[in-house]
Amino acid sequence: MLIWLKRNYFCVGFGALLFLFALSLPNRALNIDDPWLAETSYWVAKVGYARSTLLWGINNYEILDLNYHKLWVLIGALFWKTFGFTVTVFKSVGLLFFFIFLVGFYYYFRDREKEYSLRDFWIGAFLIWSTNLVFNYSFVFRPEIGIMAVGFWGFFFFRKSILQSNWKKMLVAGLLFGLCVPLHIKGSVYPMTAGLFLLLFHRHLKSILALGIGVVAGILPYFWDITSIERLQFWYKQFSNNPVVHSMPKTIWYYILKPLQEHKRFFHQEHEIAFSLLFFVCLLIFYKPLKKYLDIEVKFLFLTVIGMGATSHSMTDKSLLLYYPFMVLVVVTALKIMPVKSRTIPILLALSLLVNMAMNIRLVLKSDRNVAQRSAIAAAQIGKKNVKVMADISFIFNEMDNYEIYGAQNYTFTCAFYTGEIPTIDRYFEYAKKFGVEFIVFDTVSMSGEEEELFKNVDLSVGKEVKNFRVKYNYDGITVLEKFKELDLAEKS
């Protein structure tokens, strides 16, 4: 074992990680998905069903949204009703699920106390928490950490069921794997992996039936708001018109060959490359002895990677979170069994920790300004409530109850994913006119890159006129445009 893992240096390192994480929480930068999913949770809690005024005019989402991360949004709605509608409340959902994962991770090591020590658990917890993906997304209102947590608990019971030939534990595993699907559709990779694993390596009829029953029960929350044939048809229309689904090729060869590109997901950015190199080297060097410890884990991970490669629409690095628990188990076990004089693994471990911690420090330094406070500044410039406002998505914190808010990025989003046309200023303001918008609010905290590109050559100085709007306020990245009054137009004529 590495010398720094044997001494107090590890305690210092873990303490530094905890301090760094806690330091980042009060001013953690807004993730683009925080407001998107929070708005859906808002409507579920307020009116009893999902909709999105931010996506007004797209797929009828402003009327009813049946194509969203069902269980995650429901949990967000519960948090809002309990603790209030703030960025921190929604981000805390991810943090809760990360701690749920850590509990499952602990019980995994405790269940294998003859092979692993408590120190091995703490090393694993440190390694996974120090990765920039986990450090970042454990405080973001996105469901990947939730899938990681529920999925690993599912694997905990899945493994015990196989080793003990206990179909009841397989039923629990199936239920937990099934719950990953309503958290996010990509969570379907876990029940698919479990089913394929049983068919290939553990052909036990009771286990297969128990897994299937559990998975079906776990998936049921996805259909909580699909209560009629009409709603099922409405869901299918929204699902099939989703640009992600619509753009995916329909040929079987695409899904057969696509897993061959899945390795690219491991090598997106510096921090992912560093940790992935550590994992792959550990796996290659110690593959034979690892089979003694992690035969089920490695097979499960391999099938998960194949499944994700076949079904996912993109190479987003967030999906790596579904692999990380198993990758960390490989690294922890390699550290446990490697020769004392080994140099390759320690060097790669140090490199991974340095790169990931550097990215974590950068995340802390990239502290965000208070989005609710910025929204209040924009609202003060609007000067009245209950009017139609087209705003960047951060404006929903905390102005949802005060305005009818349309997403300022809707036009560029429609161009990029639906019409394919090149965005223009003229068409942007025609879009605003179409919905009777009286004010437009831009905020660089959540302004999309497409919006920035569209307005980069537009003079937004106070008093300047842009089409039928006048710039009323522009300071510190907040810009408020007001529609001309009828009197103004009469005077101009």
Q: What is the pLDDT of residues 259-297, one digit of tens each?
A: 888 999 999 889 999 999 999 999 999 999 999 999 999
Give domain limits for the chain.
Answer: 3-365, 371-492
Contact 189, 304 (CB under 8 A): yes
Confidence of residue 4 (pLDDT cuts 50, 70, 90): very low
Residue 387 burial (CB count, 10 A)? 15
Confidence at residue 183, expressed as pLDDT on a 0 to 100 scale: 98
Does the structure show a pLDDT above 60 at 367? yes
> Of 61-65, 151-155, 245-249, 422-426, which range is least confident?
245-249
Helices (H) and strands (E) in the chain, counts: 24, 6
**How far is 355 from 460, CA to CA, in rounded Å?**
40
**pTM for the full predicted model:** 0.93
**How far is 297 from 302, CA to CA, in rounded Å?**
9
- Terminal Cα distance for the chain, rounded: 83
Confidence at residue 470, expressed as pLDDT on a 0 to 100 scale: 95
Contacts of 157 (CB under 8 A, 6+ apart): 169, 170, 172, 173, 176
Query: 419 burial class (0-12, 13-18, 19+ CB within 10 angstroms)?
Result: exposed
DSSP 253: H
> Of 69-83, 389-403, 406-420, which range is least confident?
406-420
Angstrom CA distances, 236 to 30, 226, 311, 377, 414, stand at: 31, 11, 18, 41, 20
Coil/strand/helix, residue 472: strand
The tokens of 142 are what?
A: 């996105």
The tokens of 366 are what?
A: 């990239």
